[in-house]
């Protein structure tokens, strides 16, 4: 039985009487067949037993059902209801048996499935690059970074309302705590690790394993220039060390952005930054981060300066935090530079003030404005498209948006 035979004779028209619901799943199913994902899974899950339903076809259909919005295994029956379009589809019990067989196969079965998925990704990305010239760029604020493959590492707590396998109490309640590695260019998962709910947020061994698996999942041609981001919860010295080693390889470029909790050293550096070295921060859409002032006019889209209050500033601390020829450049600074009076429009406390955001350039990053340095970190707190209506650009915002910060004033050399 040929698992891809259903596609023969299928036509897409703008009218007709043979209209069925969930017909868009056919495009995803056809894509899985054309890039070789279904065939690869069939080979990975081949069995000597005589099976009515090819296991690769079942697993690929399950992925299509999830893309269609399925939340539980029983939702898979939606595809079975469209026999006129999809042909014979496995039943829900058959899906459960397929998953049980994969579970019994252990790491060996998982490795074969991963190899099949990675091979299909190579074909898909090669076709996309051949057609469009390159993969989609990485969106950083209002700019798009071309020619770089971005991997995002992030752990998330999945709440469970019943006793699931691996579900345990955690800092957000009760559930699971998986760790994922995503490609920001194509918004697709590269690697993941199922973890119990009590797993730590900054477990270095887990992050290193997911990082290695995510890089291995990339087609070789797209591993030369990487951007890797991780929030402060997942930061660790071991992760930074691994990223530095990746960046030091000849012929490779690695840009990385990792958050961390401010310590005494960072707070001292923030205190030492002169007021003129701060620059107004922008959001992920490239607009100045502002809020409405008290007593503002009724026009929410107005361009009056008195109606808007700047919410955040950024600066670069690279020079201040770097070890120089004379040793620690911050040694003794808390005593030599007591807190100064706040500048106009700035909070009294330069460390705890809501308008202060310190950015430290890390990794193999060329010199650029501090707004660009903040961009990789902003990937982790990106809003969904259409989350809020955009405001019209106004002259005073445009002027501030293009102003470059004098980095030498912040100790950058």
pLDDT at 370 over 50: no
Q: CB neighbours (10 Å) of residue 29?
A: 26
What does the chain come to in residues?
413
pLDDT at 306 over 70: yes
- Segment 171-203, tens digit of pLDDT: 888 999 999 999 999 999 999 999 999 898 888
Average pLDDT over residues 377-400: 44
pLDDT at 211 over 70: yes
Higher pLDDT among residues 210 and 27, named by residue: 210
The pLDDT score that the predictor gives to residue 235 is 83
Top-ranked range on mean pLDDT: pick from 144-148, 181-185, 258-262: 181-185
The pLDDT score that the predictor gives to residue 259 is 78
The pLDDT score that the predictor gives to residue 331 is 63
CA neighbor of 219 nearest in space, from 138, 146, 154, 128: 128
Higher pLDDT among residues 154 and 338, named by residue: 154
Top-ranked range on mean pLDDT: pick from 154-158, 311-315, 389-393: 154-158
Average pLDDT over residues 132-151: 86
For β-strands 308-310 and 290-292, DSSP reports them as antiparallel
Higher pLDDT among residues 341 and 143, named by residue: 143
Per-residue confidence band for 407, with pLDDT thresholds at 50, 70 and 90: very low
Dihedral of CA 326/332/333/336: which sign?
Answer: negative
The pLDDT score that the predictor gives to residue 2 is 52
Average pLDDT over residues 71-91: 84
Average pLDDT over residues 116-120: 95
pLDDT at 392 over 50: no
- Segment 42-61, tens digit of pLDDT: 999 988 887 888 899 999 99
The pLDDT score that the predictor gives to residue 343 is 43
Average pLDDT over residues 73-77: 88
The pLDDT score that the predictor gives to residue 317 is 79
- Rounded to a whole number, what is the largest CA-CA distance in the chain? 81
Average pLDDT over residues 342-371: 42
Domains of the chain: which residue ranges? 5-129, 144-236, 264-384+391-410
The pLDDT score that the predictor gives to residue 14 is 65
Higher pLDDT among residues 403 and 78, named by residue: 78
pLDDT at 16 over 80: no
H helix count then E strand count, the chain? 13, 17
28-32, 141-145, 244-248, 329-333: range with lowest mean pLDDT = 329-333
Q: CB neighbours (10 Å) of residue 9?
A: 6
Dihedral of CA 66/67/70/75: which sign?
Answer: negative
The pLDDT score that the predictor gives to residue 406 is 35
- The two tokens of residue 373 are 């340095």
pLDDT at 214 over 90: yes
Task: Kindly give, in sequence order, each residue whose CB lies less than 8 Å from that of residue 164, ignoring residues fewer than 6 positions away.
Answer: 175, 176
Give dist(CA 160, CA 157) in Å, integer: 9
pLDDT at 326 over 70: no
pLDDT at 99 over 90: yes
Average pLDDT over residues 156-162: 87
Top-ranked range on mean pLDDT: pick from 81-90, 104-113, 378-387: 104-113
The pLDDT score that the predictor gives to residue 405 is 35
Name 189's bridge partners: 182
The pLDDT score that the predictor gives to residue 358 is 46
Higher pLDDT among residues 313 and 92, named by residue: 92
Name 390's bridge partners: none
- The two tokens of residue 139 are 């969106």
Q: Looking up tokens 């958050």, which residue turns up?
A: 259
Higher pLDDT among residues 266 and 70, named by residue: 70
Q: What distances in angstroms separate CA 376 from CA 150, 332, 363, 390, one per listed residue? A: 9, 32, 11, 22
Higher pLDDT among residues 142 and 248, named by residue: 248
Higher pLDDT among residues 206 and 234, named by residue: 206
The pLDDT score that the predictor gives to residue 71 is 87
The pLDDT score that the predictor gives to residue 4 is 57
């Amino acid at each position: 039985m040929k698992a891809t035979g259903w596609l023969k004779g299928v036509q897409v028209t703008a009218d007709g009487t043979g209209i069925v619901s969930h017909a868009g799943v056919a495009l995803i199913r056809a894509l899985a067949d054309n890039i070789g994902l279904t065939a690869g899974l069939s080979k990975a899950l081949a069995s000597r037993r005589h099976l009515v339903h090819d296991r690769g076809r079942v697993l690929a259909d399950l992925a299509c059902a999830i893309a269609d919005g399925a939340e539980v295994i029983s939702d898979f029956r939606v595809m079975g209801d469209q026999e006129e379009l999809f042909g014979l589809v496995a039943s829900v019990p058959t899906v459960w048996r397929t998953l049980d067989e994969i579970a019994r196969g252990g790491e060996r079965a998982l490795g074969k499935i991963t190899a099949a998925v990675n091979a299909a990704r190579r074909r898909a990305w090669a076709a996309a690059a051949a057609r469009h010239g390159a993969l989609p760029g990485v969106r950083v604020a209002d700019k798009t970074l071309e020619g770089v493959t971005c991997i995002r590492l992030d752990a998330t707590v999945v709440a469970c309302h019943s006793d699931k396998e691996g579900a345990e109490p955690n800092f957000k309640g009760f559930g699971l705590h998986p760790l994922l590695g995503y490609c920001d260019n194509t918004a697709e998962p590269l690697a993941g690790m199922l973890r119990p709910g009590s797993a730590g947020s900054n477990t270095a061994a887990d992050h290193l394993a997911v990082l290695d698996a995510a890089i291995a999942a990339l087609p070789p041609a797209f591993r030369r220039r990487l951007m890797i981001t991780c929030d402060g919860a997942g930061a660790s010295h071991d992760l930074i060390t691994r990223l530095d080693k990746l960046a030091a390889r000849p012929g490779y470029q690695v840009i990385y952005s990792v958050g961390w909790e401010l310590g005494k050293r960072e707070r001292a550096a923030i205190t030492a930054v002169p007021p003129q070295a701060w620059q107004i921060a922008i959001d992920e859409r490239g607009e100045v981060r502002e809020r409405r002032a008290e007593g503002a006019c009724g026009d929410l889209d107005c361009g009056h300066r008195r109606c808007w209050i700047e919410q955040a500033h950024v600066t670069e601390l690279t020079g201040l935090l770097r070890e120089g020829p004379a040793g620690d450049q911050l040694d003794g600074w808390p005593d030599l530079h007591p807190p100064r009076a706040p500048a106009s429009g700035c909070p009294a406390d330069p460390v705890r003030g809501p308008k202060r955001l310190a950015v430290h350039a890390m990794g193999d990053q060329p010199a650029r404005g501090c707004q660009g340095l903040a961009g990789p970190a902003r990937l982790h707190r990106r809003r969904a498209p259409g989350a809020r209506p955009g405001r019209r650009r106004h002259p005073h915002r445009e002027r501030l948006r293009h102003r470059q910060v004098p980095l030498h004033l912040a100790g950058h050399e």
